Amino acid sequence: MNKYILENGIEAIIKNNKNTPRTAFCLFFKLNRDEEKPGLYLLLTRLLLQGTKNRTAEELANELDEKALDFTFEKKADYIRFKLLFLNEDVQETFEILEDIIENTTFNDYEKEKIKIKGELESDLDSAKIQAQDEYYRTIFKNHPYGIGRKEIIEGIERITKADLINAFNELKYNLQKNISVIGDIDEQIITELMNKRLKSLKINETLDLRIESAPIEKERVSIIEKEDANQAQIFQGWLFPSIFSEEYPSIILLNTILGSSGLSSRLFLELREKQGLCYNVRSVYEPYLLSGNFFVYIGTEPKNIKTSLEGFKREIKKIMTEIISEEELENAKTNAIGKRSFYQETNLLEACLKGYYEFLGLGFDWEEKLIQKIKETTKEDILSIAEKYFSKPSALCILAPKKYLEASGLL
């Protein structure tokens, strides 16, 4: 993998993977301020596929489909990512279209796109699990942009104007920090020249990161959603955890592997599903962001099991906070977590996303090797220590269930 600096100052990493039919391209934009109006960046990224001065939305959609070009523009918690996947022979057309989108997007259909987005989000919220998960983020990241969910966007998107969109896009193009990753069976010189030609208007103008970390949780937060026809209770319980930059990151990966992210052999799976038959789905998830992170446990269970499930969570969390894990469990967690990382780079697109993300973080595209080394060096004591440090703090709990079961569990 080689690193280039384009004429506009943007850093691009390029890797030639021989004998692969499709090339992947990622462009990261680092967000440096909160959305004043929820849904702004979502609406913006959606409108990038809704037509330019040269192509109507329909013409653009047809052209992409005719060449089987996969253009995805997405908003994540800390960045916006342009993700392109194309057959190697279509490289010239791909960059011509990308340039047209960057230079000539019209934002004309923004009112219509609002209607579409609202409809899609309302449809999502007909899922009990999505409804509860949205509420969980709202609860743990109270008053912080990481907590903005579908409900806030549905309510807030109306206030977005065309000027807001143009300003946000100009900020994206001319100011925000950017980086690029390209992986495929490609000529590095050709791709560099193409990027210099087609992306020349993009600029970087360092601006202050105005975002702030989410406030600590001072006391237990509980959110309840009464849903009378729910066949299962949806339970999310989470804690604020450190960001990806933390020295503790490798230990948290292992903690998560042991507790509930490792498929069929994690502690939560074995205890709550295999031994107690409480659920089909139970797991733990660690989501690291730039400013903080969150670690949650989830179960979908028959509503009458709410209390038993919460006790199960409590027991497993307490156990990992107070009892040192065995040497065997540590070694298994390490080989498990390290082995799983092979999956993150199996295709050109996955590899471009991962290595581009490491560059975006400023950790370097070769950070994967360093991370693996750090995972190998993690001790049992490290895991005990971080579990004690973070799980001893107040949590955020969100439960969706019929009222009578919430009452029976003492939650109402």
- Residues lying near another protein in the complex (CB under 8 A): 19-22, 49, 57-58, 61-62, 64-68, 87, 112, 115-116, 119-120, 122-123, 125-129, 227-232, 262-265, 270, 273-274, 276-281, 300-302, 304, 331-333, 335-343, 346-348
Q: Specify the residue, 76 or 112, whose C-beta has the smaller distance to another protein.
A: 112
Q: Specify the residue, 46 or 81, whose C-beta has the smaller distance to another protein.
A: 46
Q: Specify the residue, 333 or 396, whose C-beta has the smaller distance to another protein.
A: 333
Q: Is 202 exposed, middle or buried (0-12, 13-18, 19+ CB in 10 A)?
A: buried
**Minimum distance between the CB of residue 345 and another protein, rounded to whole angstroms?**
8
State the residue for tokens 């009378």: 228
Q: Specify the residue, 196 or 345, whose C-beta has the smaller distance to another protein.
A: 345
Q: Specify the residue, 126 or 206, whose C-beta has the smaller distance to another protein.
A: 126
Rounded (10°) angle between helices 40-47 and 162-174: 80
Q: What number of other Cβ atoms are within 10 A of residue 217's Cβ?
A: 18
Q: What is the DSSP string of 27-65?
A: EEEE--S--SSTTHHHHHHHHTTS-BSSS-HHHHHHHHH
Read off the tokens for 324.
């040192």
Q: Which amino acid is at 159?
A: R
154: left (phi over 0), alpha (psi -120 to 50) or beta: alpha
Read off the tokens for 109.
């259909």
**Minimum distance between the CB of residue 159 and another protein, rounded to whole angstroms?**
19
**Minimum distance between the CB of residue 381 and another protein, rounded to whole angstroms?**
21
> What are residue 305's phi and psi, to 5 degrees?
-95, 10
| Dihedral sign (CA 396, 275, 375, 347) | negative
Q: Specify the residue, 14 or 337, whose C-beta has the smaller distance to another protein.
A: 337
**d(Cα 4, Cα 13) in Å, to the nearest integer?**
6
**Minimum distance between the CB of residue 180 and another protein, rounded to whole angstroms?**
22
Residue 219, strand partner residues: none
Q: Specify the residue, 105 or 179, whose C-beta has the smaller distance to another protein.
A: 105
State the residue for tokens 């709990």: 397
**Minimum distance between the CB of residue 262 and another protein, rounded to whole angstroms?**
5
**Minimum distance between the CB of residue 407 and another protein, rounded to whole angstroms?**
16
**Minimum distance between the CB of residue 189 and another protein, rounded to whole angstroms?**
25
